[in-house]
Chains A and B, each alone.
Chain A
Amino acid sequence: MAEIVLDKVTKRYPDGALAVSDMDIEIADGEFVILVGPSGCGKSTALNMIAGLEDISSGELRIDGQRANEKAPKDRDIAMVFQSYALYPHMSVRENMAFPLRLAKVDDATVKQKVEEAAEILDLTQHLDRRPSNLSGGQRQRVAMGRAIVRSPKAFLMDEPLSNLDAKLRGQMRTSVSKLQKQLGTTTVYVTHDQTEAMTLGDRVVVLRGGIVQQIGSPQFLYDHPANLFVAGFIGSPSMNFVPATLEEGVLKSPLGTITLTDRVRRLAEAADAPREVVAGIRPEHFEDAALVEETHRASGATFTAPVDVLESMGAEKYAYFTVEEELATTAELQELAADAGATDVPGGGSTIVTRLSASSEAREGQQLQVWFDADRIQLFDPSSGRNLTYSG
C-alpha cells in the first residue's frame, strides 16, 4: 500500500510528440483512481510511466514519498493487469499466479498457500491446473487479477482490464473489481475509456484530453460541476446536450426558446464574465414531459414544443429524441468527443437533442410534445475556450 504522486510528469517521445503534459495527481493510500479519456489521450502512457514500462521525460514520480523515476519496474513493487491479460501460455493457472512469488524467491509452502488464497478469492480453485488457452475470457481475466493480488503489492495498475469481455460479463466483473479493491484496500490506478466504469468504480476520476488533465474529482462532482465542455460531454450517458445560445441581461436565447436564467446561474455567469455568445448544456435527465411537471414547479424552468423523432422506452424511463432547426454547437472539444464516440459516421447524428422522460410520459413518436427543462441546471460554456462559465466548485 502506498501513495503515488505524479509531480509535473511529462512524456515526450523522441519524434517530439507530447503524450502527457505536466500531469499533477496525488493518489492517496488505498484510493481507487480512474484515468479516463478518449483514445490517444495519454492515459495508458501515464499508467506505463507509473509502472516503469515507459521513461518519464520530465517531472517526478514518487511512490511512498520516494522518487521512483529511475527505478526498474521490478523494484517498484507494483502489479499490473493488462488489457490483453498477458498470461504466460506455457504455464498453468497455478504457475501463472505463482510466477511473481517465485521470482521473489518465496519458499514453496508460502507460494502454495498464497496462490490458493488468491484462487479462493477469485473463484479459480478448480481451474488451478489448467492452461490459460483452455479458459474463458472471464476466467483469464480473473487469473490476470490473481497474478496481481497474489504478492500483495503496494499498488495495482489496471489497463482497461474489462474491455475484452462481453457487456454482461463486464458488468459483473466491474462489481467484483470494486469489491476486491475495497476488500484489499490497495491503492489502485485504473485506466478506461468507458465513462460508465469511471463513474461506478473510482473514488476519484481524472479526465484526460490530449495528454492534459482536464479535471480531477469524485464521479458525482465531475457530473455536477464539469470544469469545461470536454468533461461535460464525456461524463454522463447519454451525454449532455449542447446548443448555441446568446446571453443578454440574464436572458438566454437558444434553439430551445428564450430562457430566463435563475439567480444562481446568472450570478455565476456574471462572475465568470461570460461573453455574449455561449454554449448552453443541459443533461438529458433534466428534461421532463411538461404534462408531468407540477404547476408550482414549472415556473423554475422553461418549455419548448417539438415533434418526437424517436422514442426509446427502457421500461423504467423513456428517451425522446428531438431535432432542432439550427446547427448544434460545435467546438473542437465536442468534435473530438463525437469522433471518439463514432458519431461522425452517422449522418445528422449531431443535431439531435436527447431527453430522458418518466416512464409515465405519454409521448408518441411523430407527435408534438411539450418538454420542460430545469433552468437552474443549465450550464453555460465559453465556446472559444470551452471553460464552464457556471462552474461552482
Chain B
Amino acid sequence: MAVTTGRKARWALIDVVVVVYALFPVLWIASLSFKTKETLADGNFIPREWTLQNYADIFATNEFIRPLINSLGIATIATLIAVVLGMMAAYAIARLDFPGKKALIGVSLLIAMFPQISLVTPLFNIESALGLFDTWPGLILPYITFALPLAIYTLSAFFREIPWELEKAAKMDGATPGQAFWRVIAPLAAPGVFTTAILVFIFCWNDFVFAISLTSTEASRTVPAALSFFTGTSQFEDPTGTISAAAVVITVPIVLFVLFFQRRIVAGLTSGAVKG
C-alpha cells in the first residue's frame, strides 16, 4: 500500500502531538533533575548547566535508598500474592459453577469501586490496634485487597479463552486437577498472568494514599511517600532537584518491568491446541 507523503506527514504530526502531550511532564521532571541548584528556576527546558549532583545526593542518604527497598519489596510481594490468589479465583469463576459465584463477582467489583481515601482512617485504627502500622504487611495487605479485583477480572477473561478440552485431556492423561491446572492451564494463561502482574505492580508501586497514612518511619515508608518528606541539606534549601531525580529513578523500574514482561505477552499462544 502506497502511503503518500502528505498522509505520512499528517500522521507524524499527530503522533508527535500525542507523545509530547503525554510525556511533557515527565521530560520536564527529567530536565529538572539534571539542573544545578542555581539554574533550577530559570525556566529553560534544556539545562544550561548539566549536573549529576541531584542523583548523587539522593543515593548518599538513607532517606531515599531505604524507601526504594521498601517499595520494591512491598510491591513485589503484594503482586505475587495477588496474582496467585487471583489466578485461583479467576479460574474458579471462569470454569466452575458454585453457589455464590455472582455474589463473589459483585463484591469484588464493589471493592474495586470503593474510594480508597474513605478507608484510610478505619485502616489506620485497625492497623494501630493490630500492630501492623508502619510495617511491610501493613501495606501489603491493603494492596492485595485492592489489587485482587483487578487481578480476578483480567485473569478470568484469559482463562475463559483456554479450551476446556485441554483440561479434560490432561485429566485423561493421568493428571490430578492440581497438575492439570499448574502444568497445562497456568502456562497457557501466562500472557494473562504477566499482564495482570504488570497492572498490579504498577498499582502498588504508585500508591500514595496508603503509603503516606499507614507508615511513619523508614521501616516501611515507600518512595512516593518518602518523596514528600524530602528536604534540602538545610531548611532553606529547595529540594526540587532531588525530588525530580528520585522521581526519575522510581519511574525506571516500572519502564523496565513493562518492557521485560511485554515480550512475554505473546498473542496467540493457544493456537494449535484445538482444531485450527
A103 touches B179 (CB 8 A): yes
A74 touches B165 (CB 8 A): no
> Quick one: which of A82, A88, A137, A164 contacts B184, CB cutoff 8 A?
A88
A137 touches B172 (CB 8 A): no
Q: Which B168-190 residues sit within 8 Å CB-CB of chain A?
A: 168-176, 179, 183-184, 187-188
A88 touches B175 (CB 8 A): no
B172 touches A79 (CB 8 A): yes
Q: Does B275 contact A (CB under 8 A)?
A: yes
A247 to B269, CA, bound (A): 65
Stretch of A15-23, A24-32, A128-136, A355-363 at the chain-chain interface = A128-136
B272 touches A74 (CB 8 A): no
B169 touches A86 (CB 8 A): yes
A52 to B169, CA, bound (A): 12
Cβ distance B73 to chain A, nearest Cβ, rounded Å: 31
Residues of B within 8 A of A53 (CB): 168, 171-172
* A side interface size, CB within 8 A: 33
B165 touches A73 (CB 8 A): no
Q: Which A32-52 residues sit within 8 Å CB-CB of chain B?
A: 51-52
Encode A251-294 as 1/0 by CB contact (under 8 A) with B.
00000000000000000000000000000000000000000000
Residues of A within 8 A of B175 (CB): 74, 103
A100 to B183, CA, bound (A): 12
Given A89-B270, A132-B272, A147–B173 Cβ distance below 8 Å? yes
A134 to B272, CA, bound (A): 7
Q: Does B253 contact A (CB under 8 A)?
A: no
A38 to B239, CA, bound (A): 79
Residues of A within 8 A of B166 (CB): 86, 88
A133 touches B271 (CB 8 A): yes
Q: Does A223 contact B (CB under 8 A)?
A: no
Cβ distance A214 to chain B, nearest Cβ, rounded Å: 28
Q: Does B273 contact A (CB under 8 A)?
A: yes
B188 touches A84 (CB 8 A): no
Residues of A within 8 A of B269 (CB): 89-90
Residues of A within 8 A of B276 (CB): 133, 137, 140
Which of A73, A83, A135, A157 has the most chain B CB atoms closer than 10 A to its own CB?
A73
Residues of B within 8 A of A137 (CB): 275-276
A82 touches B272 (CB 8 A): no
Q: Does B274 contact A (CB under 8 A)?
A: yes
A164 touches B188 (CB 8 A): no
Residues of B within 8 A of A87 (CB): 169, 272-274
A103 to B170, CA, bound (A): 10
A80 to B276, CA, bound (A): 20
Residues of A within 8 A of B187 (CB): 90
Q: Does B163 contact A (CB under 8 A)?
A: yes
B168 touches A89 (CB 8 A): no
Q: Does A319 contact B (CB under 8 A)?
A: no
Residues of A within 8 A of B273 (CB): 84-89, 132
> Quick one: which of A78, A84, A103, A133 contacts B165, CB cutoff 8 A?
A84
A104 touches B174 (CB 8 A): yes
A236 to B221, CA, bound (A): 79
A51 to B168, CA, bound (A): 10
Which of B168, B169, B179, B270 has the most chain A CB atoms closer than 10 A to its own CB?
B169
**A-B contact count, CB below 8 Å?**
87
Q: Does A391 contact B (CB under 8 A)?
A: no
Encode B259-276 as 1/0 by CB contact (under 8 A) with A.
000000000011111111
A72 to B172, CA, bound (A): 9
Cβ distance A55 to chain B, nearest Cβ, rounded Å: 13
Residues of B within 8 A of A73 (CB): 171-172
B179 touches A90 (CB 8 A): no
Cβ distance A230 to chain B, nearest Cβ, rounded Å: 30
A86 touches B274 (CB 8 A): yes
Q: Which B154-171 residues sit within 8 Å CB-CB of chain A?
A: 163, 165-166, 168-171
Cβ distance A393 to chain B, nearest Cβ, rounded Å: 36
Shortest Cβ distance from A132 into B: residue:
B272
Residues of A within 8 A of B168 (CB): 51, 53, 80, 82, 86
Q: Which B71-102 residues sit within 8 Å CB-CB of chain A?
A: none
Residues of A within 8 A of B165 (CB): 82, 84, 86
Encode A345-371 as 1/0 by CB contact (under 8 A) with B.
000000000000000000000000000
A130 to B163, CA, bound (A): 21
Residues of A within 8 A of B184 (CB): 88
Q: Which A110-149 residues sit within 8 Å CB-CB of chain B?
A: 131-135, 137, 140, 147
Cβ distance A333 to chain B, nearest Cβ, rounded Å: 32
Cβ distance B128 to chain A, nearest Cβ, rounded Å: 48
Residues of B within 8 A of A103 (CB): 173-175, 179
Beyond A84-B274, A90-B187, 5 additional pairs, beta carbon < 8 A: A74-B176, A86-B168, A87-B169, A103-B174, A140-B276
Question: What 9 pairs between A and B have smallest CB-CB spacing?
Answer: A133-B272, A84-B274, A86-B169, A132-B272, A100-B173, A86-B165, A89-B273, A80-B172, A103-B174
Report 19 cross-chain contacts, Cβ distance below 8 Å, ordered by A residue: A51-B168, A51-B172, A74-B172, A74-B176, A84-B165, A86-B166, A87-B169, A88-B170, A88-B184, A89-B273, A90-B188, A104-B174, A131-B272, A133-B272, A133-B276, A137-B275, A140-B272, A140-B275, A140-B276
